[in-house]
Amino acid sequence: MAAFLQWRKFVFFDKDAVKDPTDGGKLLLLPKGISASDSGRGHIVLGDMEGQIWLLPRSLQLTSFQAYKLRVTHLFQLKQHSILVSVGQDEQGINPLVKVWNLDKRDSGNPLCTRIFPAVPSNKPAEVSCLSVHENLNFMAIGFTDGSVVLTKGDITRDRHSKTLTLHEGGCPVTGLAFRQMAKVTHLFVATLEKVFCYTLSIKEYPRVELDTHGCALRCSSLADPSQDSQFIVAGDDCVYLYQPDERGPCFAFDGHKLLAHWHRGYLFLLNRDLKSPSKSGFGSGGESSPSEKQVLTIYDLDNKFIAYSASFDDVIDVLAEWGSFYILTRDGKMFVLQEKDTQTKLEMLFKKNLFVMAINLAKSQHLDSDGLSEIFRQYGDHLYLKGDHDGAIQQYIRTIGKLEPSYVIRKFLDAQRIHNLTAYLQALHRQSLANADHTTLLLNCYTKLKDSSKLEEFIKSSESEVHFDVEIAIKVLRQAGYHSHAVFLAERHQHHEWYLKIQLEDLKNYQEGLRYIGRLPFEQTESNMKRYGKTLMHHVPEGTTALLKRLCTNYQPTGDCVEKANSEEFIPIFANNPRELKAFLEHMIEVDPRSSQGVYDTLLELRLQDWAHEKDPKEKAVRQGEALSLLRSDNTVFDKALVLCQMHNFKEGVLYLYEKGQLYQQIMHYHMQNEEYGKVVDACKRYGEQEGCLWEQALGYFARKEEDCKAYISEVLDHIDQKNLMPPLLVVQTLAHNSTATLSVIKDYLINELQRESQQIEDDERKISQYREETAHLRSEIQELKTSAKIFQKTKCNMCNSPLELPSVHFLCSHSFHQHCFESYAESDAECPTCTPENRKVMDLLRAQDQKRDLHEHFSRQLRSSNDGFSVVADYFGRGVFNKLTLVTDPPGSKAVGSLEVSLQRDLLIHTKRNS
């Protein structure tokens, strides 16, 4: 039971007398003798003692129509339909009549009456005490003074679609009726002077429940709205009771003799007799009062437990709600309006009295938006903060999260003594996922300052679906504060791999765990982290790191069926100070994947050469040599790099192999020359002389510059030069002239052979000269004969088609004859014999070439003798393409002979150049 005396009183309504808009602002006067009233559908309905029903719209222009001949006793205006139900009398002593009016339809200017039926509870005449109509127009209940309740079921606006029955009987007058509709269940509350009942109308038998053994006077009951669960309100002299359909609910100790009880828009209106006024008797203690009686109207807010308004009035007839305000009708014909103050005004009134809890409750009941509520919470928090109640203040500030800027609160609690309050606020901020990185940093710093490990663990170890903070920021703060285990937990749980590895490897120095963690990551992340931390891991855990790299570069498969592999060459720098592990890694790579990149093979070659160079044991050194050579022979190394490596480590076998592989025959011979391996110089000439003939000439020059006794090697070289005719004798003599040990006996056999060859060549040339002279004399005699004697053509066959000649025919002095048609078909010129033309052209071309070479030789020799820089002249002629052969002597046997003029030109060039050098 709530004692209303403890409830605070406010003036949340403004009272004004309603004025007549048409009469200069005078008070609006109601009709006299009002006996019934109600409101709804935009107007106030009044009934008087003369049978008239008055309609007062918002314009306050009264209109009326005659509803009964004698008087109107009850009115019920439906809120959702323009249907008005009235009870009145047309004849004295006759049972009252119930009339149903459709206010939207007219009959001779008056509202249409759709139904009339007498209110008869039983065979005995009785007066109507109360009336209620269901908004669905399917139920109407009429209460009588004899304790009966008549229920009309069906369409109440028509006679044929409804039926009437007596629902309740008793000996005590019925004082109140109310329909309650919840979902599909319909109840009817019945109040008498002595008891309260509830009928369930949605069940065929209409079961009844007796709710209480005390009742109320007339007009002292009402039905609350859904905010109070549509409870039935019964106002007794001591208390106000609320009832559910099956039980009694709460009650409120509102003392005083009740004259009227209404429920309007969340407020309970109670009209009490003024205690200072004399008591008056009447029907059910609720009869009419004398004109001089004072009454007190009180408006209660049951939800928020305060009195919203209280004032005295003279002889109140009724309190009605319409047009957003409340209207009070008095018996002297006046009408007063109570206009509710707006929510903000009411809140400000509460704020001035520091009634923040009441303001919050009021705002919620008024459905104030979240911004308005947040402002109340802020003001309440400020009030508590100023009072020193920091714990209470922080609870109110927490309720502003999402609306109030967090910095407003944080600045107030940054003091070290209030760090607990600040922590609570920041926790709430994170729970609502409204914290930013700075808030997370501040909260974690609060935890660390308080050294509250349990709260810290609770914060970071919340389930993944409840994470309300920036994980990366949290990791940074925890790491900076030295809470490495907590930071590692967060990093691993939320898969911040880089932070996990950074803490494990850089802070905790837990290299084994870091390596294990990397080995479980997806391929791309494992690859990137090994490139980042590979050198560190290799330094501390070389074997494990090498094993992971082997797996990463061959068949990395942490999860699923997808196999990926990294580029092994990119990880070679990781092994900078670990050659043993690097060698194992590279050998594993070429074994698993023979198609590994050339960089892998080059690096492995370098490692094997280093091992070979540092090996002291002859047997092991031979093994290392074989390993290096096998790698070179695999053809997977880069030629230039491999050659440089072999040269750096003085790996003779590798250098010679690469020279031979690259066809660098001169380099092979020069290598032997540098090492003064005379026999291998000659062997190189024998092996590669066919591919590069100049090797013999270079070998001869090499031995010629040696002061040692190299006669045997010189003789062997000269024999080969002599056999292949690779050098002019004069050039051989000049070459050997630099060697003091090369006596005439060394080249005697060579010179004899050359002189014999020259003599043989001279004899051949003289023989050809004699032959050419004879041929020339013969040709001249033929020419003379042709000029002085007649030529007889006796050919019988065509030299072209070998068929017998027929006229016309063509004959040439060379004794060739042709059919004219054959000659015309095959001859390239009318003046030349088709058979002799090819040979004649060869002769002419040869003659022209000899003339050109003779002129070129004479011009070149003249320039070479007169020039101070013979090499520039030679270079100029080479650039012009004059010398189109690379050999210095005639072509070997079997090839086409070169003219003696060209050979002598080349010899003179070489000899002259040699002499000038």
Per-residue pLDDT of 768-777, as tens digits, reads 888 888 888 8
CA distances (Å), origin 320, targets 44, 65, 316, 317: 8, 21, 11, 10
830 and 749 both lie in a single domain? no
- Quickly state the pLDDT bin for 732 (edges 50, 70, 90): low
Number of structural domains, the chain? 3
> Does residue 15 sit in helix, strand or coil?
strand
Of the residues 726, 758, 790, which one is the last residue of a structural domain? 758
Residue 404 domain flag = no
- Quickly state the pLDDT bin for 915 (edges 50, 70, 90): very low
Q: Which of 52-61, 305-314, 633-642 has the lowest mean pLDDT?
A: 633-642
In this structure, what CATH number is given to the domain that contains residue 261? 2.40.10.480
Residue 328 domain flag = yes
324 and 271 both lie in a single domain? yes
What's the mean pLDDT when you consider all of the chain? 78
- DSSP bridge pairs for 34: 48
Residue 325 domain flag = yes
639-645 long-range contacts, CB within 8 A, separation 24+: 641/602, 642/602, 642/605, 645/602, 645/605, 645/606, 645/609
Q: What is the pLDDT of residues 216-231, one digit of tens each?
A: 999 999 999 888 889 9
Q: Which residues contact 545 (CB under 8 A, 6 or more apart)?
A: 515, 534, 537, 538, 574, 581
In this structure, what CATH number is given to the domain that contains residue 813? 3.30.40
In this prediction, residue 421 carries a pLDDT of 84
Residue 838 domain flag = yes
- DSSP bridge pairs for 166: 150
Residue 21 domain flag = yes
**For residues 167 and 135, is the Cβ–Cβ distance under 8 A?**
no
Tokens 């009934």 identify what position? 47
Pick the most confident of 329-338, 746-755, 855-864.
329-338
Q: Is the pLDDT of residue 703 over 80?
A: no
Residue 308's domain comprises 1-30+254-276+293-341
In this prediction, residue 795 carries a pLDDT of 74
Which one has a higher pLDDT value, 178 or 376?
178
The stretch 147-160 carries a mean pLDDT of 89
pLDDT > 70 fraction of the chain, expressed in percent and rounded: 75
Of the residues 700, 732, 758, which one is the last residue of a structural domain? 758
Q: Which of 2-11, 91-100, 737-746, 852-861 has the lowest mean pLDDT?
A: 737-746
What is the C-alpha to C-alpha distance for residues 580 and 573, in angstroms, rounded to an integer?
14
Which one has a higher pLDDT value, 674 or 576?
576
The stretch 80-106 carries a mean pLDDT of 90
811 and 754 both lie in a single domain? no
Q: Residue 569: CA atoms inside 13 Å, Cβ hemisphere, count? A: 9
Q: Is the pLDDT of residue 256 over 80?
A: yes
Tokens 């290799």 identify what position? 538
In this prediction, residue 289 carries a pLDDT of 46
- Quickly state the pLDDT bin for 143 (edges 50, 70, 90): very high
Q: Are strands 325-330 and 335-340 parallel, antiparallel or unpaired?
A: antiparallel
- The encoded tokens of residue 526 equal 């494992």
Residue 102 domain flag = no
Of the residues 815, 830, 850, which one is the last residue of a structural domain? 850
Which one has a higher pLDDT value, 887 or 753?
753
* Amino acid identity at 236: G
The stretch 891-898 carries a mean pLDDT of 37
744 and 688 both lie in a single domain? yes
In this prediction, residue 270 carries a pLDDT of 93
745 and 689 both lie in a single domain? yes
Q: What is the pLDDT of residues 800-814, one digit of tens each?
A: 787 787 778 888 777
Q: Which residues contact 224 (CB under 8 A, 6 or more apart)?
A: 230, 231, 232, 233, 242, 263, 268
**Burial classification of residue 694, based on how many CB atoms lie within 10 Å of its CB (0-12 exposed, 13-18 middle, 19 or more buried):** middle
Q: Residue 64: CA atoms inside 13 Å, Cβ hemisphere, count? A: 17
- The encoded tokens of residue 173 equal 């007058």
Q: Is the pLDDT of residue 911 over 50?
A: no
Q: Which of 860, 863, 866 has the alpha carbon at shortest distance from 907?
A: 860
Reported as type and span, the H/E element at residue 111 is: strand 110-118
Residue 213 domain flag = no
Q: Which of 416-420, 499-503, 687-691 has the lowest mean pLDDT?
A: 687-691
- DSSP bridge pairs for 273: 295
Q: Is the pLDDT of residue 888 over 50?
A: no
Q: Is the pLDDT of residue 917 over 50?
A: no
Residue 837 domain flag = yes
DSSP state, 564? Answer: B
Which one has a higher pLDDT value, 574 or 904?
574
Q: Are strands 267-273 and 258-264 parallel, antiparallel or unpaired?
A: antiparallel
742 and 808 both lie in a single domain? no
Which one has a higher pLDDT value, 650 or 18?
18
> Does residue 19 sit in helix, strand or coil?
strand
> Three-state secondary structure along 333-368?
CCEEEEEECCHHHHHHHHHHCCCHHHHHHHHHHCCC
DSSP 221-251: EEE--GGGTTPEEEE-SS-EEEE-SSSEEEE
- Quickly state the pLDDT bin for 93 (edges 50, 70, 90): confident
